[in-house]
Amino acid sequence: MVKVPALAEDGQNWKIYHAKLLEYAATHYCLDVLAGRLDDRTDDWDGSNALLWCTFMETVPLTIYIRVHHKTAHQIFNYLTKCFRNRDSIAEPRVKKLVTCTNDAKRYSSAESPMSENAATGAGWEDLPCTKDLI
């Protein structure tokens, strides 16, 4: 069963709310009403609209809900979409490009190579502070 989270007053979780609401509507066969199917005076439409209304009443904060003066779930959904559509509060993960090299020798000149004599003797590390220098 799909659970629709409560919408934050500032719309911070709009993307998650939007996705879960669409999933909920699809699961309960109400997606056509949410998408704007006109009222055909059938019990099917009335039931779907009522179910979506109840969902909005339970998940939309009262401070937002009292500003909504619409009659159908489709109109409420459009209102919320216009209010929060451009919110980009969920940061998209930044992907680091992984640089791979099959041969470590390609990355270093021969003097800088981890396998060079300088690396073994520690030469070239003089510019780094020692722990006694930090005290």
Q: Domain spans of the chain? A: 14-84
How distant, in Å, are the alpha carbons of 5, 12, 112 from that of 8?
A: 9, 6, 54
For the ranges 28-42, 65-79, 119-133, the lowest mean pLDDT is seen at: 119-133
pLDDT of residue 37: 87
pLDDT of residue 49: 92
Supply the Cα-derived Rg of the chain in whole angstroms.
Answer: 29
**Dihedral sign of CA atoms 30, 31, 33, 34 in order:** positive
Q: Are 109 and 118 in contact (CB under 8 A)?
A: no
pLDDT of residue 95: 42
Tokens of 17: 């709310």
pTM over 0.85: no
